[in-house]
Amino acid sequence: MHLTTHTDYSLRLLIYLQALAPEAASVRQVAEAYGISVNHLAKVAQRLTQLGWISSRRGRGGGLVLGPNAAGLKLGQLIRTLEPSTALAECHTADSHCPIEPVCHLKSILSEAQQEFFAALDRYTLGDLAQQRDVLVPLLVPQRH
């Protein structure tokens, strides 16, 4: 399975905010830390805000912060929510036109693999990704020591 750029950037933003919690960060700060597009990351932040996973503070000291329950979000849940499709092959879609689908075992094998993939992701939370804050923060915000 290949994650979309939107999901990749979502995970990066969430990791950044988890590492710096409870401090706020701007979209620009996060984009510069990862060397990614500010405009694309702003769209990602908007979506994560709509989902309630992050919130935006205005004014001095403002910026993006994690939502109250974001650290406990399961990675599988994050990816299932953010990915437009988790279909691994045409036979995993409602409009499959594969002529051998009725006798092919690929669909069931891919389904089993996908279930195991998400089961593995569901064993971890967003909080698990930022456990080494003392190492992670200097990589994301080099001027802090």
Residue 40 lies in a domain: yes
CA distance 140 to 130: 11
Residue 78, judged by CB atoms within 10 A of its CB (0-12, 13-18, 19+), counts as buried
Residue 144's pLDDT is 55
**What CATH number has the domain bearing residue 44?**
1.10.10.10
Residue 37's pLDDT is 95
Nearest to 70 by CA among 137, 6, 125, 5: 125
Residue 29's pLDDT is 94
* Domain hosting residue 30, numbered range: 5-88+125-140
Residue 63's pLDDT is 93
Residue 79 lies in a domain: yes
CA distance 41 to 15: 13
Write down the pTM of the prediction.
0.85
Query: How many folded domains does the chain comprise?
Result: 1
Residue 142's pLDDT is 73
Residue 24 lies in a domain: yes
Residue 120 lies in a domain: no
Residue 28 lies in a domain: yes
Q: What is the pLDDT along the chain (145 residues), one digit of tens a residue?
A: 788 999 999 999 999 999 998 899 999 999 999 999 999 999 999 999 999 999 998 888 789 999 988 989 999 999 999 988 777 777 777 777 888 888 888 888 988 998 999 999 999 999 999 888 888 898 888 775 4
CA distance 41 to 90: 30
Residue 18 lies in a domain: yes
